[in-house]
Chain A
Amino acid sequence: MTYTFGLDTFGDRNGGADGTPASHAQTIRNVVEEGVFAEQAGVHFFGIGEHHTEYFPMPAGDVVLAAIAARTEKIRLGSAVTVLSSDDPVRVFQRYSTLNAISSGRAEVILGRGSSIESFPVFGYDQADYEELFDEKATLFAELLKGGPVTWDGKTRPALLNRDVVPHTESGPFPAWIGVGGNPQSVIRAARLGYGLALAIIGGPPARFAAYSQLFQRALEKFGRPPLPVLVHSPGHVAATDEQAKAEFWPRWRDIVTLMAPERGFAIPTEESFDTETGPHGALYVGSPETVARKIATNLRALAATRFDLKYGLPGLTHGQLMTNIELYGQQVIPRVRELLSSS
């Protein structure tokens, strides 16, 4: 079994050295440095999630990925996620196909329906339509990925008649995934359309997603498709010791989840709930390299997944703390997970 390991960011606005927030521009420049450093540290994938808020100022992650592509050679680069429901599938394909050209075939996309829907009002979409928007657009995107002229008709964008969409890729479709947060019907959709399954696990016991992984493979069989990979995306933070990682992460986690809670329906975190989530059966990967590596190995096995993407950083953490996280993840966590998985 070949395992790969990634890092994802939402462009979480950095804290400055003096405790005041770094500017959006500085945060974005820092993300470029983090992506370049991730390759040096031995990470296989660097993903940027689309967000439109003051604390996640990252609506154009593909531009940032292009800057990273120009300074790297091996690391794969992609969205995590692209909110496809409020975007145009043709433009998303064009941007990532361009990134694929710049990076000589290292582009990927993870498409999301939009559990985080702050983009909808920006672009004039009605949240109540998110299901239809996503289904149609994910269907069209799958057609675009195949290459060649596309003919398509639907309700959510103008029709395409035998349209050649450029730039063409050099060697077939680039990897594309659908992000799923716990709705089994979204798992079926990923299988039906032939996308990889990206399980976004941000709360509760990860093991409960094992049935989704089985459901995905069974649905692929039902639709006559070959097996496709499953990846796990979860938040976390790696520091030298468990105590240090938790001390750095907890106040930032409490603040950002509390801020987002009214809109997203999240529970306000308590120290008790944080202990549960950072414990062996929780969804947060916060701790020393050994603690985080053990948890990743356990859950990759339990979920029959072959890729793990750590969503690193939170608003208020400093660029220096994030660079340490990246270094420890690449140089210690990843080799240790491989060791744990090969010894079973």
Chain B
Amino acid sequence: MNQLPGLAVLGAGHVGPVIARLAIKAGYPVAIATSGDPEDIALITELVIPGAQPRWASDAVADADLVVLAIPLHRFGDLDPNLLSGKVVVDAMNYWPASDGVLTAFEDGGSSQTVARRLSGSAVVKALNHIGYHELEGQARPVGAPDRRAAGVAGDDPAAVAAIADLVDRIGYDPVRLGRLRAGRVLQPGGPVFGVTLTRPEFERAVAEDARSLA
């Protein structure tokens, strides 16, 4: 079996450790980082994300093929875009004015498009933002399970989308490719699939009926 691509998860809050655990279980080499010293998350990693390597963000990203952004959106402005240049970046973040405050840059359109404009050297893919962190592990299912939940993947770079669709599939969800990054707006809070448990046919129907999916 070929070695799976290396994954760097940025963020050790609610979401990051869950995605990291699922990826480890699926066989990906996983590093996890925050904005600070890896020593600060050594104990968290050992007990909550066994198998992951706690690292400085720059080191974790440098050695990774895929990077998952799982930080609060209001901290996104602190992230150096050069750090992520040349990487496939999964935007698992969401814009909630109620918890982030109003962020002017995110008031219009798709939040991942705003992220992608700032990360102009990266291939940004929107995925894993619309399933609650408390559900992600419990609802993961093997390929072919009748109740396997669908998960949307949207991005402008076909190779990047393929890599993330593969990641989504391997961690336990039926990937539904939505085409361009702007089509990822259907995955956002308030959209037709956000927080809703849907199989692939149900998911595709919900997206097709929604005006936001007109890419």
Contacts and interface: CB of A to CB of B under 8 A. Distances in A.
A74 interface: no
Contact of A182 (B41, B100, B134, B189): B134
Contacts of B41: 185
A115 B99 CA distance: 8
B4 to A, nearest CB: 24
Interface stretch (A40-48, A260-268, A307-315): A260-268
Given A127-B98, A265-B189, A266-B195, A214 B132 contact: no
B138 A127 contact: no
Nearest to A115: B99
Interface in B61-104: 72, 74, 94, 96, 98-101, 103
B157 interface: no
B133 A182 contact: yes
Interface in A101-153: 115, 117, 126-128, 130-131
Contacts of B40: 188
B104 to A, nearest CB: 12
A185 B96 contact: no
B156 interface: no
Of A184, A212, A262, most buried by chain B (CB within 10 Å of CB) is: A184
Interface residues of B, number: 32
Contacts of A203: 132, 134-135
Contact of A183 (B13, B74, B100, B103): B13
Contacts of A212: 48
Interface residues of A, number: 36
Interface string B133-152: 11101100000000000000
Contacts of A117: 98-99
A78 B54 CA distance: 38
B116 to A, nearest CB: 22
Contact of A184 (B17, B72, B103, B195): B17
Interface string A241-266: 00000000000000000000111111
A126 to B, nearest CB: 5
B14 interface: yes
A184 B96 CA distance: 21
Nearest to A182: B14
Interface stretch (A20-28, A168-176, A215-223, A298-306): A215-223
Contacts of A281: 138
B132 A204 contact: yes
B214 interface: no
A35 interface: no
Interface in A191-218: 203-205, 208, 211-212, 214-215, 218
Interface of B: 12-14, 17, 34, 40-41, 43-44, 47-48, 72, 74, 94, 96, 98-101, 103, 132-135, 137-138, 189-190, 194-197
Give the 3 A-B residue pairs with the shortest CB-CB distance, closest first: A267-B195, A204-B134, A128-B101
Interface of A: 115, 117, 126-128, 130-131, 181-185, 187-188, 203-205, 208, 211-212, 214-215, 218-219, 222, 261-268, 272-273, 281
Given A185-B41, A215-B48, 15 more contacts: A115-B99, A130-B99, A182-B133, A184-B13, A185-B13, A188-B43, A204-B134, A205-B138, A208-B138, A211-B47, A215-B47, A261-B195, A265-B132, A267-B132, A267-B197
